[in-house]
A and B are shown apart, each in its own frame.
Chain A
Amino acid sequence: MTQVNRLDGGLIDRSTPLGFTFDGRRYGGFAGDTLASALVANGVRLVGRSFKYHRPRGIISAGSEEPNGLVELRTGARREPNSRVTMTELHDGLVAASQNRFPSLGFDLMAVNDRLSNFLGAGFYYKTFMWPKAFWERVYEPVIRRAAGLGALSGEDDPDVYDRGFRHCDLLVIGAGPAGLSAALTAGRAGAEVILVDEDFRAGGRLLQESFGVGGVSGADWAATVVAELQSLPNVRLMPRSTAIGVFDHGIHAVLERTGDHIAAPDAGKPRQILWRVYARRSLLCAGATERLIGFADNDRPGIMQAGAVRGYVNRFAATPAEHVAVFTNNDDGHRTATDLAAAGVDVAAIIDSRPDAPKSEVAEVLAGAVVTGTGGRLGIGHVDIRLAGGGRKHVQCGALAVSGGWNPNVHLTCHHRGRPAWQDDICAFVPGEGVPPGMAVAGAARGVFSTAGTIGDGQAQAIAQLAEIGIAAAADTLPEAEDAPVRVTPLWHVPGKKRAWLDQQNDVTVKDVKLAHQENFRAVEHLKRYTTLGMAGDQGRTSNVLGLAIMAELTGKSIAETGTTIYRPPYTPTPIAAFAGRSVGRDFRPTRLTPSHHWAAEQGATFVEAGAWLRAQWFPREGETHWRESVDREVLATRNSVGVCDVSTLGKIDIQGRDAGAFLDLAYSNTFSTLAVGKTRYGLMLREDGMVMDDGTTARLGEMHYVMTTTTANAGSVYRHLEFVRQCLRPDMDVQLISATDSWAQFAVAGPNARRVLQELVDPQHDISNEGFPFMACGAISVCGGVPARLFRISFSGELAYEIAVPARYGDSMIRALMAAGEPWGITPYGTEALGVMRIEKGHVTGNELNGTITARNLGMARMVSAKKDSIGAVLAGREALVAEDGLCLVGLEALDDGQVIAGSHLFDAEGPVDAAHDRGYVTSAAYSPHIGASIGLGFITRGAERHGEVVRALNPLEGRSALVRICSPHFIDPEGERLRG
């Protein structure tokens, strides 16, 4: 198909023809076209169907506010629904398809909704889907969801990458129209760090779309000259295809840069889009303005467009929407469209100017004081019905209607801190009001300065003022000559009539809907919005809001200023979720931490589990093992019978030094550490200020003023933060320094009756690690393998004779291999977190499962660990009456009877009696199959637990519909006397 509506001239590159398809049909365009301009040039008026009524719709704008021209772009996994044709740069081979229609755009069965429109007005859902309640989720929601939405997702993973980034500048200029270019030039020449962002791929804004000149050259040429100078300045960064979508605290702006949308597919590794966080000391909003339409009957027919967009297509893209174009306006701007159309050789069928004092035109008949009362045509406009000033009727044939209802400044970003726009009568529009984000100023059309000369001057002046605030002196330059016409507009929001007149074309909101909202008392603007969905479309009401609230103002008899606007929130334009996710997708969702033995464990085929950010070996399956329990049982028994090894580097390690280190620990822990001998380790219990247990672990004293604290893996960060708070805020007088040493050491638990024999193979012979020379709870600096520095701790989580040996992390991989080799004669077995868990349950050691934030030392049977001889954090509140009650929860062991299973999370009830909250006696915190006992066991809390050993109770898990009879026992299933670990 030839480009029937293509004109001469324009800013397109005719030496680079491009081919594309729309709904399977091939078309041609040129470099410099948008998909919208190429469709206009090819005479394609019908591009989509509306959301609710499936009305045929065409392109109405040439910018990011486009509500109708939404298509599915690209194919396969890269298919992207709801892409605005006006923001889609044409490239060769581009594939686009219309959406929300069945079976085709021209013939859409769902258009039956339009016939039913009397039933589908505002509030339809709220009124219709009320009864019966049982239908809400089962019937109504699926039906509504199926009917809702426009385009469809591909359902496949997005193959592209999205980046995030951070930039800093003195002045962020948002928008590269005349005001923005002028501001950036002024600031750039002054040496300020400037970032200029613009959502278009070519800088110039309206200058590209208008025919008038600036400084003796065309607007586009002036813009190009400014851009060239800006590009030559190292302190200025131009960011085309970049939209400022939000303004946040402290000068932070979110800017979405579309780096790969204008090509078929980004190169491997290159992002499709980058979401920038721009830290700006000052910002200047030069976002321009959006032209309003006017409400009249059937004003949504394809071919009805903003007058400014029509001239944009003619001047910038050399494309006319039709051979015969009529103009409907309430201000002088509409006449410019007529002039430009005529200059391009397009017939202007009529200028319908609602103002009785409309100016004359040299290019077409002006119908002063006339209004459009209706339109006709199949799948596009064919004629307009006009009511003349004297009341007569007129019928004008045309293929397009250019409508201008005045211009609305794009104030949206000024509202992101709850700023409220103010009504300005002389231009009939809202301008930025109070509450503009700190550091932001507004220039040009965005604050109602509409003439070209005005915007260029305002951009310069506002830039100078913004820079002065941060101590940068910028000079005013001579301004280029440009048009300086005043705004002459007489309000016309809608032409009264019986037929539907559209306000929000994307969400199908009509004048009638606003009237219905008024009638049903949804009169406040925020209520109007939610009741009718006015302004809830992708354009955030840029094409509809002011019309809607002006009509509401008419109905309520209030002024528009009193009626006000709804609040605008980020993002300014639709933004893919992928851009927010950035690189945080799939396996890279969060960074991971790897243990020093990770690569070795992976070689062994270990199954890994996430613990905090760590990947820990969960168990090490062996050939022939078909179930994880087989692996875990084997690991447990091998450790208990001979020796096992486990990487425990993930436990938090905090290095504590200073003359007050002991006193500091006495404060942080409920028990005493200042009396701990050098070379010894002690178990410590750390309470929160409210007396609940926060964490536990062992702390070793390596020197007079040097301790190393161990925390649980999950709490390493929070305990460190807590200790820093104590150090910096509670006791800044103490001489103590903290630093994390978690990553510094590769630490391995070597446990089992043969643990010492294995270690003796590696520990350098000058160190005596015999039971006498290195007894239970000893610690010290040693060396291994001929002089490698190491630390040895004789502590046991498993209940066996056990050590933890630490070497600098760089030796970790080598150390696990050395341990495995040294332990081979004793059948050393690596064990993972599951076996670790089984063994600690068997031994009755608590972890995060038990330390759930509601548990006190007394609940754990450790009341004596809260020393009364000293002050410590949490000691006072641990003594609260309810916390020391005799019938409080008490840690117990639980053993399943009759081959039953203890399930963690089950609640405990007496063997007989009702099952309800009032009779809840406690709960199960941990459970495991103990290969040592040969039964399912667990740990839990039950009231008066210490007195109830031997009693049988019920463990009920109603969520899973399971129950078990369990016998209460000591939590120490194994070696309660501790003979093994002291052996």
Chain B
Amino acid sequence: MASLTQTTALGGTIPFDETIGGNRIREVSEAAMASLAMLKGQGAAFKKAAASRLGELPAPGHAVGHAAGHGGGGNHASTIWMGPDQYLVEGIDAATLAATFGASAAITDQSDAWVRFDVTGGDVVAMLERLSGADTRRMQAGSATRTAIHHMHCVIVCRAGGTDFTILGPRSSAASLHHALVAAAASL
């Protein structure tokens, strides 16, 4: 029987990694992702399960780091606020979360729904302000926001203020998002 191999969102076998000017753009493909949404009336069980595995849940506009589980999280593994009682969990696979949360949450594997780029360097804010209306200049570690980049629905997570950000975008648009990032980095 045939065996299947994986490709990254950009279609390569190894993730894209390039430094342009003062900024490094790195595709992160190894991080598991899952959506986590509290089911109605399950607040107590949900919070208990969250506390046991994720620690503190993020407030709106924030992401809170946690210990990455099976699936890894690149350099970072966070729980990102996405909506009221809705989160995106990096670094822990859906099956593990399902075991933790039981019937208190709706969990959907999102590992293949997103392309993740980590952008780091001294000019990252200058690059991001060509792409997104989010106030990335004021974002500090733990800030997270949903935004649009060239009409694409994206999430920006700040890992370290001014220098270290993660951009999540739709996997099917990985090539377009990548083009936007590279063009912005080259335009500085």
Known: A279-B133, A807-B4, A810-B8. A591 touches B177 (CB 8 A): yes
B6 and A163 form a contact (CB under 8 A): no
B59: Cβ under 8 A from any A Cβ = no
Known: A591-B151, A807-B4. A168 touches B130 (CB 8 A): no
0/1 interface trace, chain A 728-745, chain B, CB 8 Å (1 if under): 000001110101111111
A166 and B108 form a contact (CB under 8 A): no
Residues from 581 to 597 in A contacting B, C-beta threshold 8 Å: 583-584, 588, 590-595
The A-B contact count (CB < 8 A) is 152
Q: Give the B-binding residues of A (Cβ under 8 A).
A: 161, 163-168, 193, 269-271, 274, 277, 279, 583-584, 588, 590-595, 598-599, 613-614, 649, 655, 657-660, 733-735, 737, 739-745, 761-762, 764, 784-786, 788, 807-815, 818, 821-822
Known: A735-B39, A785-B3. A743 touches B170 (CB 8 A): yes
Q: Give the A-binding residues of B (Cβ under 8 A).
A: 1-9, 11, 29, 35, 37, 39-41, 86, 106-114, 129-130, 132-135, 137-138, 150-152, 170-177, 179-180, 183-184, 186-187
Q: Which residues does chain A contribute within 8 Å of B174, judged by CB atoms?
A: 594
A743 and B172 form a contact (CB under 8 A): yes
B11 and A813 form a contact (CB under 8 A): yes
CB distance from A266 to the nearest CB of B (A): 9
A743 and B113 form a contact (CB under 8 A): yes
Q: How far is the CA of A166 from the CA of B4 in the complex (A)?
A: 43
Task: Name the residue among B113, B129, B180 with the largest chain A CB count within 10 angstroms.
Answer: B113
A744 and B187 form a contact (CB under 8 A): no
B132 and A744 form a contact (CB under 8 A): no
Known: A743-B113, A822-B2. A657 touches B106 (CB 8 A): yes
CB distance from B41 to the nearest CB of A (A): 7
CB distance from A39 to the nearest CB of B (A): 33
Q: How far is the CA of A735 from the CA of B110 in the complex (A)?
A: 21
Q: How far is the CA of A737 from the CA of B135 in the complex (A)?
A: 30
Q: Which of A166, A269, A744 contacts B112 (CB 8 A)?
A: A744
Q: Which of A161, A588, A739, A811 contacts B37 (CB 8 A)?
A: A739
A167 and B129 form a contact (CB under 8 A): yes
Q: Which residues does chain B contribute within 8 Å of A164, judged by CB atoms?
A: 130
A821 and B6 form a contact (CB under 8 A): no
Known: A744-B109, A814-B6. A614 touches B133 (CB 8 A): no
Q: Which of A166, A584, A741, A745 contacts B133 (CB 8 A)?
A: A166
The chain B residue with its CB closest to the CB of A788 is B4
Q: How far is the CA of A164 from the CA of B8 in the complex (A)?
A: 29
Q: Which residues does chain B contribute within 8 Å of A822, judged by CB atoms?
A: 2
Q: Which residues does chain B contribute within 8 Å of A762, judged by CB atoms?
A: 1-2
CB distance from B71 to the nearest CB of A (A): 12
Which secondary structure dominates where chain A touches chain B?
mixed
Q: Which of A166, A274, A583, A592 contacts B173 (CB 8 A)?
A: A592
Known: A739-B110, A810-B7, A814-B5. A583 touches B171 (CB 8 A): no
CB distance from B165 to the nearest CB of A (A): 15
Q: Which residues does chain A contribute within 8 Å of B132, judged by CB atoms?
A: 166
Apart from A166-B130, A809-B113, A811-B4, list 12 A-B contacts with CB within 8 A. Answer: A163-B187, A165-B130, A168-B135, A277-B133, A590-B151, A594-B172, A594-B173, A594-B175, A737-B106, A742-B172, A744-B109, A810-B9
Which secondary structure dominates where chain B touches chain A?
loop
Known: A592-B173, A594-B172. A808 touches B111 (CB 8 A): yes
A744 and B130 form a contact (CB under 8 A): no
Q: Which residues does chain A contribute within 8 Å of B187, judged by CB atoms?
A: 161, 163, 269-271
The chain A residue with its CB closest to the CB of B183 is A583
Task: Name the residue among B39, B107, B179 with the largest chain A CB count within 10 angstroms.
Answer: B39
A739 and B108 form a contact (CB under 8 A): yes
Q: How far is the CA of A741 from the CA of B172 in the complex (A)?
A: 11
B113 and A658 form a contact (CB under 8 A): no
A163 and B113 form a contact (CB under 8 A): no
Q: Which residues does chain A contribute within 8 Å of B137, judged by CB atoms?
A: 167-168
CB distance from A814 to the nearest CB of B (A): 4
Q: Which residues does chain A contribute within 8 Å of B4, judged by CB atoms?
A: 784-785, 788, 807, 811, 814-815, 818
Q: How far is the CA of A404 from the CA of B111 in the complex (A)?
A: 69
CB distance from B133 to the nearest CB of A (A): 4
Q: Which residues does chain B contribute within 8 Å of A733, judged by CB atoms?
A: 40
CB distance from A613 to the nearest CB of B (A): 7
Q: Which of A660, A740, A821 contacts B113 (CB 8 A)?
A: A740
Q: Which residues does chain A contribute within 8 Å of B37, judged by CB atoms?
A: 657, 737, 739
B176 and A592 form a contact (CB under 8 A): yes
Would you mind naming 27 contact pairs between A and B with Cβ atoms under 8 Å apart? Answer: A168-B137, A168-B138, A269-B187, A279-B135, A588-B179, A591-B180, A593-B176, A594-B11, A594-B174, A595-B172, A657-B107, A733-B40, A743-B112, A743-B113, A743-B171, A744-B171, A745-B112, A761-B1, A762-B2, A785-B3, A809-B172, A810-B7, A810-B9, A810-B29, A813-B11, A814-B4, A818-B4
